[in-house]
Amino acid sequence: MSVLISSGGCLLPFLIVFNLFFGHLFLKTSHWLALEGILIALFIFNSYLFTKRLFSAAKKRDNVIDVEGKVVHDQHKLS
């Protein structure tokens, strides 16, 4: 199930647009609107999980060593 949700980031917008334009041809109006709502809710949930994972991976680390940079002067200049 998590494979379908995690890889659905590219598939969900396509399914939402496809259902929006062609869903009424294949489904009843109530089912069409319900499916559209479910797809949009899944997309929002998937986006929320992705941003949560992204921000958790970009946490500020306390154990990073800061190194003082020095300017290096080249002795050989290109002509």
Residue 65 resides in a domain? no
Q: What pLDDT does residue 28 have? A: 92
Structural domain that includes position 51:
2-56
Distance of CA 78 to the CA centre of its chain: 46
> What residue type is assigned to position 76 of the chain?
H
Is there a domain that residue 71 lies in? Answer: no
Q: How many CB atoms lie within 10 A of CB 5?
A: 14
Number of structural domains, the chain?
A: 1
Per-residue pLDDT of the chain (79 residues; tens, 9 = 90+): 455 555 556 788 888 888 888 888 888 999 999 999 999 998 899 889 888 888 887 776 666 666 776 666 666 666 5
pTM above 0.75, yes or no: no
CB 13 within 8 A of CB 44: no
